[in-house]
Structure 1
Amino acid sequence: MFALVVRFDCRDEAAAAEFDELTTGAVAEITAKEPGTLVYATHRVEGEPLARVFYEAYRDREAFQAHEDAPHVREFHARKNPLLVGEPRVEFLTPADAKGLG
């Protein structure tokens, strides 16, 4: 398994609302088209209304690469980038003890 956490910081409230709409569409596409994506969980950050955090788990690195190369993900990245302040913070994880990760 291969996993990561990504933090996004939106420009303002309008950008955050648009980011959330884009996310809803992307998650629907990921759910329908990516069997190698095991978990794609999006979160709002308590006390930080402009921040979003995604937890993503993939069957393996190849499934992650297929995700990154998918047209719906490329479109999501292109459309979300103008809504953000700075670059997303990405942390690649090595899963250890867990419940529910297969």
Structure 2
Amino acid sequence: MFGLTVRFEVRPDTADAFDALVAQTVPLIAEREPRTLIYTTHRVAGDPNARLFYELYRDRDAFEEHENQPHMHRFAAGRQSLLTGPPRIEFITFTAGTGVPVATDA
């Protein structure tokens, strides 16, 4: 499996627009990306302008496929003016957990 977290800092005046853009994008990920195992978005307690994404893919190729989807290109372009700066991305290695779908070749 291949995973990452992404932290976005949104401008206070654009938080609702960012959340709307996310709400448009996530259903497309669920519908069109079977090798994206988990894609969750979160608000951060105590920091109303922060958004944290947790993403888990079957493998690195699935992540690359995700990044090249038209809906992700629209998301990347649409978020630019809504953020205070570039997102903070951390690549992570899954070690253990519950509720994680089993990655298969299907």
For normalisation by structure 2, the TM-score amounts to 0.93
Q: Which runs of 4+ in 1 moved over 4 A?
A: none
Coordinate RMSD, CA, aligned? 0.7
Letter in 2 for 1:5: T
The separation in 2 between residues aligned to 1:73 and 1:97, in whole angstroms, is 28
CA distance in structure 2 between the partners assigned to 1:15 and 1:67 by the alignment: 25
Which whole-Å deviations, capped at 9, do the CAs of 1:7-41 have from their partners, x for residues lacking one?
Answer: 000011x3110000000010011011000100000
Look up the match of 1:2.
2
* 3-state SS, counterpart of residue 3 of structure 2: strand
1:51 counterpart residue number:
50
Q: Given residue 62 of structure 2, which amino acid in structure 1 is its aligned partner?
A: A
SS at match of 2:55: strand
Where does residue 11 of structure 1 map in the other structure? Answer: 11
Equivalent residues in 2 for 1:28-67 (5 A)? 28-67=27-66
Opposite residue 9 of structure 1, the aligned amino acid is E
| Aligned-residue offset at 1:56 | 0.3
Unaligned runs of 5+ in 1: none
**Which SS does the other structure have where 1:66 is aligned?**
helix
Find the aligned partners of 1:41 and 1:65 in 2 and give their Cα distance.
Answer: 18
Q: Could you tell me how far 1:71 is from its partner in structure 2?
A: 0.3
Question: Deviation at 1:79?
Answer: 0.2
Any unmatched runs of 5+ in structure 2? none
> In the alignment, which residue of structure 2 is the partner of 1:71?
70
